[in-house]
C-alpha cells in the first residue's frame, strides 16, 4: 500500500470541494446563480434538487476542516462563490467576504494549505440574464470579482486557480445542455469556449498586477479512445480529444485552437478572437488536472458536425457510469508535461469516484473507492517517475455533495453525508487515506 513517503518531499495531499456543492446558497446573503434557475426548470436535475442547503457547510465548516486535518491531509481545494461575494454580480457582500476570511483562517489554524478556485460555476443570475459566458462583458466582471476576493484572501492562500473545467463551463453547458445554463446552441458554445479563456486571461492579468503569486487554471481531461481502429473512428476520437483535451491547453500554451475544432466552431466564433490570444496565453505558475474516466467514440455518418457518437466500453464502472481507467491519468500527466507545460508544476486537482455508499452500524464500507484512489495515486507516482513534475493530488471530494445535474444521488465523498440529518460519517476509504498519510511523528 502506498504512503506519503512514496512521493517527493513537499508533495501536497488534499481533498477538493466547490462552494455551490456544499455551502448552502440560502445562507449568508448569497445571491441567486444560474444553477438555481437551471435546477428549478423541470427535467434538468434529478428530483429538481438545488444547492440551497447542500451540506450546510456554511454553518458546519469548522467540523469539515477538522475532518480534513484528521485525515492527515496537507491541503484543501475549495472555491469562493461569485454569487456569494457579489450577489448582483457587481456589488460586494461583506458577509460573503467574512465567511471566506474565517474559512481560510480556519485552514491555516489547522495547518492546511488553501488552494482556492475562483469560478466553480456560480454565475450570478444578474450576469446570466445578460448572456453569461456568451457575453464578452462577463469576462471583465469576472476580473472585478477576482480582484475583490483576492484583496481579502490573497495574503493567505497558497494558490489560486481562475476557472474550474472550462470544457464543462462551455461545451457541456452550451452544446450538450447538461449543466447550467442548459443551452444547446453552437453559436453560444463557440462564444463560451473562447470567453471562458478570455475571463481566465483577464483575471490572471489583474491578479498579476496586484502582485499575487502562484496563479493557475484547472482543466479537465477525458481519455479519448477510438471505438475501432477504422480511420473514421480514429478521426472521431481525435476530434473529441481536440474538443475536450486540446482546445483549452493549446489556447493557453500555443495561443491558437485546434484546426479540426475550428472547422465546426469557426463560423460562430466572436469577431477578432485572434486578438485575445496573447492575453489568454500568458504564462501560468501551475496547471491543475482533473481526471475521471475515458470515452470511446465512433464516427456518426449523416449527423451534423462533430458527427461522433459515444460507444460504451467494457471496463468496470462507477455509480456515475464512468469507466475506471487509471492509465488515462498517467497518460495525461506525461502528455501535458511533454507537449505543453514542460517542468511547470502540475497538480491533480480532482480525481475520485461516485459509489452508492450506505451507513451500516455507524460505518461505511467503500473498499471500491479505496482501490480507485490508490490505483490513481500509483498512476500519479509512475508519472512522476517518468518525468512529470506533479506536486500534489486532491481527491474529489471531501464530502458527499450536490453533484450538479445528478442532485444528491451520486456520492463522491471520503465522508458520507446524510442529507436529512446532515450527519458526517467518515468512510473506510477516509480511514485508509488517513493511515497512508500519517507522518510518523
The CA radius of gyration of the chain, in Å to the nearest whole number, is 20
Q: Does 357 bind ligand FCB (CB under 6 A)?
A: no
Contacts of 65 (CB under 8 A, 6+ apart): 76, 103, 106, 107, 110, 112
Interaction mask 16-35, ligand FCB, x per CB under 6 A: --x--x--------------
Rounded to the nearest whole angstrom, what is the least distance from the CB of residue 290 to ligand FCB in the complex?
Answer: 6
Nearest-angstrom CA–CA distance, 333 and 270: 32
Nearest-angstrom CA–CA distance, 216 and 221: 16
168 or 203: whose CB is closer to ligand FCB?
A: 168
Interaction mask 186-225, ligand FCB, x per CB under 6 A: ----------------------------------x-----
Neighbour tally for 32: CB within 10 Å: 17
By CB under 6 A, the residues from 78 to 97 that bind ligand FCB are none
Q: Does 165 bind ligand FCB (CB under 6 A)?
A: yes
Strand, coil or helix: 347: strand
Q: Does 115 bind ligand FCB (CB under 6 A)?
A: no
Of 23, 165, 250, 403, which is the active-site residue? 165
Query: Alpha helices of 256-360 — where are they, by DSSP H?
Result: 259-265, 277-280, 327-336
Strand, coil or helix: 135: coil
164 or 206: whose CB is closer to ligand FCB?
A: 164
Of 49, 122, 323, 350, which is the active-site residue? 350
10 Å CB burial of residue 27 (0-12, 13-18, 19+) is middle
In DSSP terms, 396 is beta-bridged to: 16
Interaction mask 378-397, ligand FCB, x per CB under 6 A: ------------------x-
Contacts of 121 (CB under 8 A, 6+ apart): 18, 20, 33, 35, 164, 168, 169, 179, 180
**Stretch of 160-168, 200-208, 233-241, 357-365 lying at the interface with ligand FCB (CB under 6 A):** 160-168
Provide the grid cell at 154: 490573497
Rounded to the nearest whole angstrom, what is the least distance from the CB of residue 16 to ligand FCB in the complex?
Answer: 8
Active site residue 165: yes
Q: Which of 122, 233, 350, 366 binds ligand FCB (CB under 6 A)?
A: 350
**Stretch of 43-51, 163-171, 328-336, 382-390 lying at the interface with ligand FCB (CB under 6 A):** 163-171
Q: What is the dihedral of CA 416, 417, 423, 428, to 10 degrees?
A: 0
Angle at 320 between CA 319 and CA 324, to 5 degrees: 80
Active site residue 350: yes
Instruction: Tell me the number of residues near ligand FCB by CB under 6 A.
Output: 12
107 or 168: whose CB is closer to ligand FCB?
A: 168
Interaction mask 396-435, ligand FCB, x per CB under 6 A: x------xx-------x-----------------------
Cα–Cα nearest to 28, from 73, 62, 58, 60: 58
93 or 290: whose CB is closer to ligand FCB?
A: 290
Nearest-angstrom CA–CA distance, 268 and 47: 35
- The residues assigned a catalytic role are 165, 350
Task: Report the interface residues with ligand FCB, using CB under 6 A.
Answer: 18, 21, 164-165, 168, 220, 290, 350, 396, 403-404, 412
Amino acid at each position: 500500500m502506498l504512503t506519503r513517503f512514496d512521493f517527493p518531499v513537499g508533495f501536497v495531499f488534499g481533498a477538493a470541494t466547490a462552494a455551490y456543492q456544499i455551502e448552502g446558497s440560502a445562507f449568508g446573503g448569497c445571491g441567486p446563480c444560474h444553477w438555481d434557475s437551471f435546477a428549478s426548470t423541470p427535467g434538468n436535475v434529478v428530483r429538481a434538487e438545488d444547492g440551497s442547503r447542500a451540506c450546510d457547510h456554511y454553518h458546519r465548516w469548522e467540523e469539515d476542516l477538522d475532518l480534513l486535518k484528521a485525515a492527515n491531509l496537507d491541503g484543501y481545494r475549495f472555491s469562493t462563490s461569485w454569487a456569494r461575494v457579489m450577489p448582483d454580480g457587481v456589488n460586494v457582500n461583506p458577509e460573503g467576504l467574512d465567511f471566506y476570511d474565517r474559512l481560510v483562517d480556519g485552514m491555516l489554524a489547522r495547518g492546511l494549505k488553501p488552494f482556492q478556485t475562483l469560478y466553480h460555476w456560480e454565475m450570478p443570475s444578474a450576469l446570466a440574464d445578460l448572456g453569461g459566458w456568451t457575453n464578452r462583458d462577463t469576462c471583465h466582471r469576472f476580473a472585478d470579482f477576482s480582484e475583490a476576493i483576492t484583496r481579502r484572501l490573497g495574503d493567505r492562500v497558497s494558490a489560486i486557480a481562475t476557472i474550474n473545467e472550462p470544457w464543462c463551463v462551455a461545451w457541456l453547458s452550451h452544446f450538450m445542455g447538461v449543466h447550467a445554463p442548459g443551452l444547446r446552441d453552437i453559436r453560444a458554445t463557440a462564444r463560451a469556449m473562447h470567453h471562458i479563456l478570455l475571463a481566465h486571461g483577464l483575471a490572471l492579468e489583474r491578479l498579476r498586477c496586484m502582485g499575487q503569486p502562484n496563479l493557475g487554471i484547472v482543466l479537465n481531461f477525458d481519455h479519448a479512445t477510438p471505438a475501432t481502429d477504422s480511420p473514421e473512428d480514429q478521426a472521431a476520437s481525435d476530434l473529441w480529444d481536440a474538443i475536450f483535451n486540446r482546445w483549452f491547453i493549446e489556447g493557453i500554451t500555443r495561443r491558437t485552437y485546434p484546426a479540426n475544432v475550428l472547422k465546426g466552431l469557426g463560423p460562430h466564433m466572436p469577431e477578432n478572437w485572434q486578438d485575445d490570444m496573447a492575453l489568454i496565453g500568458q504564462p501560468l505558475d501551475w496547471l491543475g488536472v482533473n481526471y475521471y474516466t475515458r470515452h470511446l467514440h465512433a464516427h456518426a455518418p449523416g449527423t451534423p458536425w462533430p458527427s461522433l457518437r459515444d460507444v460504451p466500453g467494457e471496463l468496470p464502472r462507477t455509480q456515475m457510469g464512468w469507466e475506471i481507467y487509471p492509465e488515462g491519468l498517467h497518460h495525461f500527466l506525461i502528455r501535458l508535461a511533454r507537449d505543453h507545460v514542460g517542468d511547470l508544476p502540475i497538480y491533480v486537482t480532482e480525481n475520485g469516484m461516485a459509489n452508492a455508499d450506505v451507513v451500516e452500524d455507524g460505518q461505511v464500507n467503500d473498499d471500491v473507492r479505496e482501490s480507485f484512489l490508490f490505483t490513481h495515486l500509483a498512476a500519479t507516482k509512475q508519472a512522476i517517475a517518468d518525468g512529470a513534475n506533479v506536486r500534489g493530488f486532491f481527491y474529489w471530494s471531501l464530502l458527499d455533495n450536490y453533484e450538479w445535474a445528478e442532485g444528491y444521488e451520486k456520492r463522491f465523498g471520503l465522508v458520507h453525508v446524510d442529507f436529512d440529518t446532515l450527519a458526517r460519517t467518515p468512510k473506510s476509504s477516509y480511514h485508509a487515506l488517513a493511515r497512508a498519510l500519517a507522518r510518523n511523528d
